[in-house]
Amino acid sequence: MSDETPLATATAARTLVMLAALVVIVWGLKQGGALLLPFLFAVFLSILAAPLVLWLERLRVQPALAVLVTMLGVLGVLAGFGALLTTSLTGFDEALPGYREALDALFARLTAHLGSYGVDLSELLQEEHVEPGMVVGMAGSFVGSVIAALSNTALVVLTMVFILLEVAGLPGKLRAAMGDPQADLAEFSAIMREVQRYLLIKTAVSAVTGLCATLLLMVLGVDFPVLWGLVAFLLNFIPTVGSVIAALPPLALSLVQPELGVLSAVVVGLGYLGINTLIGNIIEPQLMGRRLGLSPLVVFLSLVFWGWVWGTVGMLLSVPLTIAARIVLERSEGMQWVAVLLGPSPEWERPPPVGLLVRLGLRKRAEPERPEAVSPPPDPASDPEERSPPPGG
C-alpha cells in the first residue's frame, strides 16, 4: 500500500501540472491573438505560396528573385481581394440602415399576422433581444473582423518573406539539427504535403463556391452580389455552419428589395442549397479523401473553442488548425489513436449505401457477392482413372 501511494501522488501531481500548463497556454493564445493571428495568416499563405517558390527555384531562378515574384503575386491577389471588400462594404454600410428598417417592418407585419392566429412572438423577441435587421448587419461585421485581422499587413508580408526565404534550406537545417546529414525527412515532407493539399483544395473549393453564389445573385438581381460572394468564400472555411450563415443576408435582402419578393427568396435559398450540396457534399469530399476528414463532433468543438479564443477569425481558422493537428498526430509515434478519434468513422463501421429505388421498394437490395468455393484438386490415389497400371500388366 505504501508503494502505491507515492505513485498515485506523482500521477495526480503530473495531471495537475498538465492542466495548469493547458490553462496557461489557452490564456496566452487568447491574450496574444493580436500578434498570433497575423502570424498564422502568414504561415497559411506561405504554405499556399511555397510550391510557386520551389518551382521557380527548380528553373534556376535565384531564391530572392523567386520570393519577390511570388510575393508580388500574393500582394496582387490580396490587394484585389481587399479592394473588392472595401468597395462592397462602403456601399453596403450606406444602405444598411434602410435594410434594417425594412426588415424590422417586414417582421412586424409577420408578427402581427401570426398574432391574429394566437401566436404571440413579441414578448419572446423582447426577452431574447432579437432584431431582424441584425441578420444583414452580421455579414458586414464578420468581413470587418477579417479585415481587422489582416490590417497589420506589414507584419504578414514580412513574416511571409522570411518564411519563403527559408523554404529551400529548411530540409538541410532539420538534418543539421538532428545531427544526421543523411536523415530521412519523409515524414516531415508528408505532413507538409498533406497540410498544403488541404489548404489548396479548400481555397479552390471556397473560391468556386463564392463565384457560383455571386453569379446566382447577379442573375436574380440581389443587391451587392460581389460582397455576398466574398462572404460565401470566407465562410466556406467554416464547415456546415458557414454555408448557412452565408445564405442568410442575401435571403433577407431578397425579401425587402421592392423588385424582388418571396419567390426570389425561395430561389436564393434553393440556389445556395444546390451549390453547397454539389460542391460541399459531393465534389469536395471526393477531392479531399478520408485522410483529410474530421469527425462532425470535432468540427463543432473546434468551432466553439477557437471561436471563444479568437472570435470570428478563430472560427475561420478552426478547421485548418485542427486538420493540421490531426495530420501531425497521425504521423507521430504513439499518438495515432488521437488522430483516429479526431477523424471520421471507419468505413467498415458504416452500413452500405442504399439507393433511392431500393428505399421506394422499386428494386431489391443487392446481395453482396460471395467468392465461389474452390474445390480441392482430385487425389490421384483415390481416382481409379488416374491410377497407373501395374508394371508388367
Rounded Cα distance, 215 and 228, in Å: 10
DSSP label at 384? G
What global pTM score does this model have?
A: 0.69
Cβ neighbour number for residue 201 with a 10 Å cutoff: 16
In angstroms, rounded to a whole number, what is the distance separating the alpha carbons of residues 32 and 228?
31
Nearest-angstrom CA–CA distance, 346 and 272: 30
DSSP state for residue 261 in the 8-state scheme: -
Rounded to whole angstroms, how far apart are CA atoms 50 and 56?
Answer: 10
d(CA 200, CA 49): 10
Dist CA 46 CA 41 (whole Å): 8
Predicted confidence at residue 207, as pLDDT, reads 92
Distance separating the N- and C-terminal Cα atoms of the chain: 87
Residues of the chain scoring pLDDT < 70: 1-4, 7, 104, 106-151, 168, 171-172, 174-175, 177-187, 289-293, 344-393
DSSP letters, 335-370, are -HHHHHHHSPPPGGGSPPP--HHHHTTSSPPPPPP-
- Encode pLDDT of 96-118 as tens digits: 777 777 776 766 666 665 666 65
Can you read off the three cell numbers belonging to residue 113? Answer: 399576422
Instruction: Please report the pLDDT score of residue 298 as a whole number.
Output: 81
The count of C-alpha atoms lying within 13 angstroms of the C-alpha of 166, restricted to the half-sphere facing its C-beta, is 12
